Structure 1
Amino acid sequence: MPFGFFSRKPAAPSLPAGLRAYAVGDVHGRLDLLTEMLTRIREDNAARPPADTRVVLLGDLIDRGPDSAGVVDLAMRPLDFASLTVLQGNHEAMMLQALAGDHEALTGWLRFGGSESLRSWGVSLEAIERYEYSRLIAACRAVIPPPQLRWMATRPRALHLGDYYFVHAGIRPGVALHRQSDQDRLWIREPFLHSTARHFAVIVHGHSVTPDVELLPNRIGIDTGAYASGTLTALGLEGEEQWILQTG
């Protein structure tokens, strides 16, 4: 067979030398699990050679679980051992849209975990269940600190490091990086989840819950349903190495 007919095995994805990254899946109001995970990451990082360490939270800090307010407060603080990047998820986007006065978004947000978030910020159950929407939005904005809302609104939608692209939900297969939309970055499931195409990078994402980590050639899904399962997952990356940390 002529030399040109031999296929070359694709190179393993990697991070640049000296860089170490930990990506953390959807927290959804579980302050207890995020606190535990950050301790595990700190210990894992300390057991390895010194590196430029990055921690990336993949969005959906809020909703469903009991302490969204506490999770946001913790995520806004700098880490003492690594740089921290917090991406925006679709639940943060829903919250911001709802509190900007979009009644349709408010309906969806309350149905998918927003009520738990509001109670963690001190909004009463009576207000959530009985207030008409304009009054409820006013009650929310009265108790949620404006700096927290501004912080959530300015979170990036993605982070590109080496051969990995960190994003909340995923990307649109077959579309160049510069043409990807925030709608897809925050919300997409199909055709992303079943695509076998090689993307511009290996996509590290949350958003779509699976009982186990999905380690695939073109994407790595790490949303293990922490708010219900008690298992919050982090993916560690350095060079060509990949490893998993989990709570519980």
Structure 2
Amino acid sequence: MFGWLKSSFEPSLPPGHRVYAVGDVHGRLDLFDRLIESIRQDNAARPAAEVTLILLGDLIDRGPDSSGVVDRARAGVPWARTIAIMGNHEAVMLDVLDGKGDLLRNWLGFGGKAALRSWGVAESVLEGGSQEDILDAARRAVPAAARAWLGRMRPNLRMGDYYFVHAGIRPGVPLDKQIDEDRLWIREDFLESKKKHGAMIVHGHSINTEVEERTNRIGLDTGAYASGRLTAIGLEGRERWFMATVD
């Protein structure tokens, strides 16, 4: 039983590299700041390396301070290069602001209102304004620099034997043939798959109370916006370790 959880595959990073990857922040700047400080201390206690900090998407929505999280992520850290992966929440927000499809109502319902509050859109507009009023206010409120940075988020990142992505990948499809729809949204087909994917997939998007370690994937979304638990993984060589905030 559960024999599929065991594996001889030991993914690794190239020598001299260290990676920290952070799960879905969803507007919890308080947790993000604390976790970044814990990562900084962890990194400082280890030998010198080329360090990469990867944010696995869904920085925004649901929690109280999407604007603060985006500003913090844009600023990066002096001790690592920072790479932000596009999440489905960022993708929907950008589509809304760009006028692609009739997505505003759906976005407001799954976290967009909290994001717009954090950028200063008035409650009276969010609760009583027409869709046109809300959209106009959103376009005025979200700074152009923040919007441009969100638009530059990457769909994925491959480093050594690890592949970092927001939601996951389509099993059976080569990693270089994956499509954004799956990278941003996939759940069951990916989560339930026991197939080898050609790399260890590190992802967020699907909430669990603890880190999910499987033979083919590592899930880091621990529901920070509601649980108060924001989780990160550290990787170096064949070593891996985890850090988390706890409210």
Distance 2:107 2:198 in 1: 32
2:75 counterpart SS class: coil
Alignment match, 2:41: 43
- Residue number in structure 2 paired with 1:3: none
Identity score, percent = 55
Instruction: Report Cα offsets for 1:158-216 as digits up to 9, x if no partner.
Output: 01000000000000000011210001000100200000000011000000000110011
RMSD: 1.0
CA offset at residue 154 of structure 1?
1.3
How far apart are the structure 2 equivalents of 1:237 and 1:79? 18
Cα distance in 1, alignment partners of residues 212 and 129 from structure 2: 42
Which of 54, 57, 64 is matched with 2:55 structurally? 57
8 Å contact from structure 1 (residues 101, 134) kept in 2 = no
Unaligned stretches of 5+ residues in structure 1: 1-8
2:157: which partner in 1?
A: 159
Report the counterpart of residue 4 of structure 2 in structure 1: none
Corresponding residue for residue 168 of structure 2: 170
Deviations 1:104-131 (A, max 9, x none): 3111110001000000000011111222
Separation (CA, whole Å) in 1 of partners of 2:158 and 2:100: 32
TM-score (norm 2): 0.95
Q: How does 1:51-200 map to 2 (within 5 A)?
A: 51-102=49-100, 104-200=102-198
1:184 partner letter = D
Q: 1:11-50 maps to which residues of 2 (within 5 A)? A: 11-50=9-48
Partner deviation per Cα, 1:128-156 (whole Å, 9 max, x = no partner): 12221122111111121111111101110
Q: 2: distance between equivalents of 1:143 and 1:26?
A: 23
Following superposition, the deviation at residue 11 of structure 1 comes to 3.8
Contact 1:90-1:187 at 8 Å conserved across structures: yes
> Would the aligned equivalents of 2:175 and 2:197 in 1 still touch at CA under 8 Å?
no
For residues 185 and 169 of structure 1, the distance between their equivalents in structure 2, rounded to whole angstroms, comes to: 5
Highest CA radius of gyration, 1 or 2? 1
Aligned length: 240
Write the letter of the residue equivalent to 1:113.
Answer: G
Q: Show CA shifts across 1:202-247 (max 9, x none).
A: 0000000001100111000000000111110001100000100000
SS in 1 for 2:51: strand
Q: Which residue of structure 1 lines up, in the alignment, with residue 206 of structure 2?
A: 208
Tell whether the 8 Å contact from 2:57 to 2:166 is kept in structure 1 after alignment. yes
Q: Distance in 2 between matches of 1:106 and 1:167?
A: 25
**What do residues 85-121 of structure 1 show as CA deviations (whole Å, max 9, x unaligned)?**
0111000011111112246311111000100000000
TM-score for both structures, normalised by structure 1:
0.95
Structure 1 runs (4+) deviating above 6 angstroms are none
Please tell me the residue identity of whatever aligns with 2:194: T
Distance 2:118 2:101 in 1: 21
Provide the rounded CA distance (Å) in 1 between the counterparts of 2:216 and 2:118: 37
Match among 224, 234, 237 for residue 235 of structure 2? 237
